């Protein structure tokens, strides 16, 4: 259940309204990496989460992002205000000015309607947490750019507040992923094909007119990875020998989501039972330490 | 410049065509986490990348994903074939059968046209690499689920090949991010607000009818994070004291993308010059070790 | 600021999971007339609302719809559960099963991603309230149809709860519109052209193969309306004499939103000042009677 | 069957072309509340309408809106003309200028392609008429804002013509809804839960930094509605006792659309038969008085 | 101005309703190559057309397609009818059944909302006519496939009627293009670069596992075209010598649309004047022979 | 399999960056008729093509278009560069500047995300080739307009290169269609209804306020076509006598795609066998003359 408190999480004040900056700010209201996207991504992951502890985390942050939507919305409204009565201001975004009456709406800085296509929700907790870490990094960089495009102190401070929270959330999601105690590259329940998984394929070669060329770095040499040249360049190509997948071979965590699929060799049932047990244990105390 | 070699990267064979499984597989052709999404996300990041070495990486993997698009397309076409001539098969996806003639097209398993809204491209390399790590994790789990929903050996082996490559790429993107030698939570050039950045806000409280409750875990307690209760629950709320953002205070890497914004305190110019120097150095050799 | 309480607003229980019914229910989660659409439409209208009293109303109902999103999400998750492990169930919606892991996500019953194109937000309060009355009527009929397509008692009762609330909201929005004390067909500040506004144009004539014909009813005859035949049928056509619009001629309410436009003859400024006065008056008391 | 008459319904003339105003006007050509949206919403409702008399109404107005699409298109084309040959004009909307050759196309003022997601079509006549009343109110306010952003007399007069027609249609749809003789809040065939339907839930409380607070008004007190406080604020919360839905209990009209659902207690069959009878009766005369 | 005649252009009758076939038919109502797409593409091209004679053609066919939308809509409604009251039928398309009440709406066979992204409108008449020829060919093949998936005679005959009209239109558009008397490959006003325009680039080489290989055919050898091998295959690559574009060098027709651009060397002005002259001449007679 | 060569297909250089022109150029990167649309349309048609020779053609051109995507991307990046650090430049497209960091991404000139709805892929080769001819004509005219809106020589030359290739491709697709040796208006396997197919329906009549009227031209008179007047104008209307479709009656080519449908009278099987035979024959030689 949700409750709304009329007080904004952060008190927004601005100097002179700057409608073109207001339009830029819409990125963080109805844009791909904006506050609604964050709120929905985490909350819906939370609705689906089988682990009660990390569900709490997802709902905590998902709800805070809704509060941020309200804060950034208030900031934007202050900047958009001249669109209501000034033709030149209105020209910058007629969708906001004419159709929306000069207020905020779920569009980005170029008038694209918000879409759930922005969200990354797989229902696999360890995967979703990675999507969230990346989402927070994106939101951080977008806020920073907005800060670096305005000189209005009130706006800068409000954006600094919102930007800071993204780093907090990035740290929290990272801690939650770490607390699952999974090996760094273990995803799901089926191990990748040995040998093939170590081959880095050199799909782009040669030198450009602008001096770019072919590099050897830690991503194709070292870290267990070896470079493989394409047959078109006289190389051996990837090791494409057929290999049968084996559900249940990958290293998993007790916190992992129940794997999806009809032929999971019973891993699904075991994991579902494990969740029930962990959550039942946890539910015995009002506030639980993991 | 691109060149196409008629030989598929992996030889696909299947037993009995299974059109409803073919429809499922469309997730990885024209779906949100599918091969075109991967190919485009990495290639376009590559087009924009200022660091010639990691641009090479992005183009290598972006190009390999195009080859995967072709492989998964071949697999799907084999499964969809009955849609051409069998009414019941055609009912499963009339968009494929009637409009598309029973072949592959850029739709997902529910007929949604592929959209660039699926992509995450910020132009900040360290951020984009995080988006790519998450993208590979998502692609891995989707392939695994497809494997666990079929018993056709040829299909399983083809999917195992494709799934394995995602883990290879996840490792490569991680190595590339590590090689930038940035602190784990440093994004961009503006430090988050001290103290506030350590506060984990408890936005969701109480107990549900289903036994879920409020947890203390490493994401809100420890790792430098401290829990903060909302004013609506009698807590102190977040530290919302205004704080002025300071471009140039965050720890950066020589590999970082040039920061975006008009008021970056000259960090932008310095970084752009640095890139020019590093790339010029590298361009002296045909194949370069980073 | 938002706060999340873990307890669902309504306790959901079901009998046997019915994944195809779960798919139908997605209409009310991520569909055009579903709970997120309602929550966002009212909340964003609320963010923009200049009248503090009716803003309170919009936030009350917008927030309740978020709680409904959570309730209907819980119901759907129970029904979708077999999609996680059963191939036939998964075929009904592979986007949910394969990409989403069998949980809820912001898609409708045919897999369309939720889009803000569903929302109707003009920033004119009297118009927005009409959009909300219509939205509630749509949500009511959709819930009713869902009820009439299932025999599971727990599901029916949960849907009855949600359906009932739509009628409550429809009544509240109607009361709010009535309380503005505007004439029924007064919208904005410019009167329609006299005489022309009374002409009902008979754009469709003749008889169909199926017995349909041309009718005279209270919508084209009476209520001040008179039927006009098209010139193609030998009629006089509409009265198309040019007529100059006169901002400030339409009957308005003290609660009306500030009109948008550069040439509003000062009506805009007067209305903005009026709002400030009314809200200031109201703000003197913690709970205010309108 | 449709027929096109080359003569425009309204003769459009303008003074100086104003391409940025032309761009604004696109809202009413390919925008969410524009003429195509109106034409399609009413015509498709008309295609589906079981009541021959109100189907006539829907086709009359749906067809008139097509004629309006042509009129507003002519107006826009006059304003966009400089985009064909002037670089600065073309910058305002390159999608129109470069891709479309400077003519009209089905985009809104920010270049969004028209989508059927804008339409509200439920197939329940009494619901659809409410959606139409709201749609006309939205179209009216958008025309008015456009009028208030230009000083070109010819444009203002053309927009005044189109704006006036929206009020005519709003009156006609209202008369049609009234003629169904349904109680104001009766939708469909299932009564809402007694008592619960009277509870207005106070989901947003407290006071904002900007002086907004909690109000008592006719939407939560009076009109049969009573305010209910949330448990988080120490209130009793809504009456969530399970209640079985009863198809056939709501007050209906002989004009109501046939209810949809498998378990409608036979209400569906009765209503379908009723329609057949009413329409057969009406079909006996070429022009019928309702 | 449009007028609607209640009589359908073709009398539709069917045998047994087949809801899954009805769903397939939605391709031609709200699908990418369906009747609304055709109606809108031609009508909007018509609105923009500077040549009064071919504008007449575009409006003739655009209007007929609207009449077809109505016919195919009637056919679909007959097939969808069981979705109103039968759960199994409703499962095939809950968006139609639950949200739309079992009637037609602007969705395709997989529930995608119609979008103007389907349309091809460039405002260059000779280009648009080519788009229309292709569009008619697509519509023809889609109707034919629908015919070949049903055994209901009434449905087949209705589809045969609609399919036939596409060929009529394809012939008319071809005649209109021919009547412009332009060389087959002349588009616009700038000649392509000599020599380079004759080079067919062999971008795909080698042999696939499935026996596909590299071909020489009339598209890369003959017709003035010569094959060129890529540098990656040891070839010379394309002739990439820079070449300055020369507006006014391409062969044009007196019917050509006015070219778009600021630097057209006055071709734009001449063409606009030519149109005015031709149309003025034509307007002297009520019905004009071209 | 794809391979990327770092060298751009065309060396791009520009004078002064022009960010607003860069924004215009995005039409050809992520726009409806841009290079990705071309690359995907042809490549996916190629994936599905049953005729190995014309599949080679489709892959050749599809791959070249990918190389063009890279070239136009490089050109655009040069022009967009000021968006990284200049507020006024950034205002022209905040989606590019703020969210994308000033690089290219899959958006058009108005910020619309690229969508596969732009593509025309039916799986019928003779139809798809027509769609491709039209697509090339559209791409040509768009490049030409871009050329005519800039005075930067390097940009003009790069665009001239890309524009020229579209004409090459248009010629190649035309040669491929001609080489199928089908009658000009034969599409698929079912003949249109005789007599009806010759009737041109005069759906738009009368004279406009602007002098437009009803024309007789080669599209409605001659070429086997005869004009038919609507009943609403006192004409006889179309010949709507029911007519049974006859699969197998249309003139076909040995190269035609296998027809789709369950009731194709065995034409499907025969055509599939024919393809196998032709391809097997061709596969005997490494490079094959058609």
Q: Does E206 touch chain B (CB under 8 A)?
A: yes
Give B220's contacts (C-beta < 8 A, 6+ positions apart): A57, A60, A172, B200, B202, B226, B227
Q: Which residues in F lie closer than 8 A to residue B106 (C-beta atoms)?
A: 40, 44, 116, 119
Tokens 């089905």: give the residue. D106
User: Which residues of chain E make contact with F240, given a CB cutoff of 8 A?
Assistant: 9-11, 161
C-beta of residue A45 within 8 angstroms of C-beta of residue A121: yes
- Nearest-CA neighbor of F105 among A108, A144, F97? F97
Q: C262 in contact with D at a CB cutoff of 8 Å?
A: yes
Cα F234 to Cα C207, E9, F202, F231: the distances in Å are 16, 15, 12, 5
E contact chains, 3+ CB pairs < 8 A = B, C, D, F
Q: Let me know: does A87 contact A65? Beta carbons within 8 Å.
A: no
Locate B126 and state its tokens.
């360290």
User: How many Å apart are CA A181 and CA D103, to the nearest integer?
Assistant: 60
Condensed to tens digits (0 to 9), the pLDDT of residues F245-277 reads 999 999 999 999 999 999 999 999 999 999 999
Residue B142 near chain C (CB below 8 Å): yes
Confidence check: pLDDT of D281 > 90? no
| Cα Rg, chain C, nearest whole Å | 24
For residue C2, give the chain B residue with the closest CA: B203
Helix (H) or strand (E) holding B42: helix B35-48
Strand partners, C228: C201
B117 close to A (CB below 8 A)? yes
Residues C64, A89: Cα–Cα separation, whole Å: 35
User: What pLDDT, in 10s, does the model give residues B172-227?
Assistant: 999 999 999 999 999 999 999 999 999 999 999 999 999 899 999 999 999 999 99
Q: Does the beta-carbon distance from D105 to E119 stay under 8 Å?
A: yes
The DSSP symbol for D91 reads H
- Rounded Cα distance, B203 and A166, in Å: 15
Instruction: Kindly report, residue by residue over A100-139, the tens digit of the pLDDT.
Output: 999 999 999 999 999 999 999 999 999 999 999 999 999 9
Cross-chain Cβ contact A6/D214 below 8 Å: yes
- Residue range D177-192: average pLDDT? 98
Answer whether D287 sits within 8 Å of C214, measured CB to CB.
yes
Residue C283 and residue C286: Cα distance in Å, rounded? 7
Residues on chain F touching A24 (C-beta within 8 angstroms): 90-91, 94, 97-98
Output the CA angle E130-E135-E139, nearest 5 degrees.
155
Short-list C141, C121, C142, C195, CA closest to C29: C142
Count of pairs with CB atoms under 8 A, one residue in C, one in E: 78
In this predicted complex, what is the ipTM? 0.97
Q: Is C101 on the interface with B (CB under 8 A)?
A: yes
Backbone φ and ψ of E110, nearest 5°: -115, 15
Q: What is the pLDDT of residues C58-108, one digit of tens each?
A: 999 999 999 999 999 999 999 999 999 999 999 999 999 999 999 999 999
DSSP string, chain C: -EEEESS-SS----SS--HHHHHHHTHHHHSTTSHHHHHHHHHHHHHH-S-HHHHHHHHHHHHHHHHHHHHHHHHHHHHHGGGGT-HHHHHT-HIIIIISTTS--SB-TT-PBPBGGG----S-HHHHHHHHHHHHHHHHHHHHHHHTT---HHHHHHHHHHHHHHHHHHHHHHHHHHTT---TT--SSBPPPTTGGGEEEE-EES--TTS--EEE-TTTSBTTBEEEE-GGGT------------BT-S---TTSPPPPSS-STTHHHHHHHHHHHHHHHHTTSSEEE-
% of chain B beyond a pLDDT of 90:
95
pLDDT string in tens for chain B (290-residue length) = 999 999 999 999 999 999 999 999 999 999 999 999 999 999 999 999 999 999 999 999 999 999 999 999 999 999 999 999 999 999 999 999 999 999 999 999 999 999 999 999 999 999 999 999 999 999 999 999 999 999 999 999 999 999 999 999 999 999 999 999 999 999 999 999 999 999 999 999 999 999 899 999 999 999 999 999 999 999 999 999 999 999 999 999 999 999 999 999 999 999 999 999 999 888 776 556 66
Residue to substitute from E57, E101, E122, interface D, most D β-carbons within 10 A: E101
* C199-250 pLDDT, tens digit each: 999 999 999 999 899 999 999 999 999 999 999 999 999 999 999 999 999 9
CB distance from F209 to chain E under 8 Å? no
- F269 vs B86: CA distance, rounded Å: 12
Whether residue F117 lies within 8 A of chain A, CB to CB, comes out as no
* D107 reaches E (C-beta below 8 A): yes
Contacts of C142 in chain E (CB under 8 A): 98-99
**Which chains form contacts with chain C, at 3 or more CB pairs under 8 Å?**
A, B, D, E
pLDDT tens track, chain E, 290 positions: 999 999 999 999 999 999 999 999 999 999 999 999 999 999 999 999 999 999 999 999 999 999 999 999 999 999 999 999 999 999 999 999 999 999 999 999 999 999 999 999 999 999 999 999 999 999 999 999 999 999 999 999 999 999 999 999 999 999 999 999 999 999 999 999 999 999 999 999 999 999 899 999 999 999 999 999 999 999 999 999 999 999 999 999 999 999 999 999 999 999 999 999 999 888 776 556 66
Q: Given CB atoms, is F85 within the 8 Å cutoff of chain B?
A: yes
Q: Under an 8 A CB cutoff, do C203 and E2 touch? A: yes
Q: Collect all residues of chain E within an 8 Å Cβ-Cβ radius of residue B10.
A: none
CB contact under 8 A, A206 and F5: yes
Chain A touched by C105 (CB under 8 Å): yes
Q: B260 to chain F: which residues are within 8 Å by CB?
A: 84-85, 97-98, 101-102
Q: How far is A83 from chain B (nearest CA, A)?
A: 24
A173 close to B (CB below 8 A) = yes
The verdict on a CB contact (< 8 Å) between F85 and B4 is: no
| pLDDT above 70 coverage of chain C, percent | 98
Q: What is the pLDDT of residue E18?
A: 98
Best interface-test mutation with F: which of A20, A93, A109 has the largest number of F CBs within 10 A?
A109
Q: Is E202 in the B-facing interface, judged by CB distances under 8 Å?
A: no
The answer to whether D83 touches D96, Cβ cutoff 8 Å, is: yes
F234 and chain E in contact, CB less than 8 A: no
- Angle (CA) E226-E230-E236 rounded to 5° is 70
Of residues E133, E212, B11, the one with CA closest to residue F60: E212
Tell me if chain B has a CB within 8 Å of the CB of E37: no
Q: Which of D47, D62, D101 is nearest residue E123 as measured by Cβ atoms?
A: D101
Report d(CA E149, CA B86) in Å as an integer: 8
- pTM across the whole model: 0.97
Q: How far is A35 from chain C (nearest CA, A)?
A: 13
């Amino acid at each position: 259940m949700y409750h709304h408190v009329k007080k904004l999480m952060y008190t927004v004040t601005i100097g002179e309204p700057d409608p073109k900056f207001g339009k830029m700010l819409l990125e963080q209201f109805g844009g791909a990496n904006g506050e609604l996207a964050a709120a929905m991504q985490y909350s819906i992951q939370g609705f689906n989460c089988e682990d009660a502890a990390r569900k709490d985390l997802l709902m905590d942050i998902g709800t805070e992002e809704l509060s941020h939507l309200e804060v950034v919305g208030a900031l934007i409204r202050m900047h958009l205000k001249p669109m209501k009565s000034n033709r030149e201001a209105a020209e910058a975004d007629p969708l906001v000015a004419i159709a929306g009456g000069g207020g905020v709406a779920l569009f980005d800085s170029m008038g694209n309607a918000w879409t759930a296509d922005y969200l990354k929700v797989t229902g696999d907790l360890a995967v979703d947490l990675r999507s969230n870490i990346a989402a927070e990094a994106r939101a951080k960089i977008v806020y920073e750019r907005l800060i670096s495009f305005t000189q209005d102190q009130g706006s800068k401070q409000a954006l600094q507040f919102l930007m800071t929270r993204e780093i907090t959330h990035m740290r929290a999601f990272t801690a939650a992923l770490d607390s699952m105690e999974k090996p760094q590259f273990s995803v799901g329940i089926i191990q990748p094909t040995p040998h093939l998984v170590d081959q880095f394929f050199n799909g782009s070669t040669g030198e450009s007119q602008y001096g770019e060329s072919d590099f050897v770095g830690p991503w194709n040499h070292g870290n267990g990875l070896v470079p493989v040249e394409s047959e078109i360049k006289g190389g051996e190509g990837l090791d494409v020998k057929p290999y049968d997948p084996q559900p249940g071979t990958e290293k998993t965590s007790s916190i992992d989501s129940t794997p999806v699929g009809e032929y999971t060799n019973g891993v699904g049932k075991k994991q579902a039972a494990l969740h029930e047990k962990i959550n039942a244990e946890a539910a015995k105390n009002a506030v639980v330490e993991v």
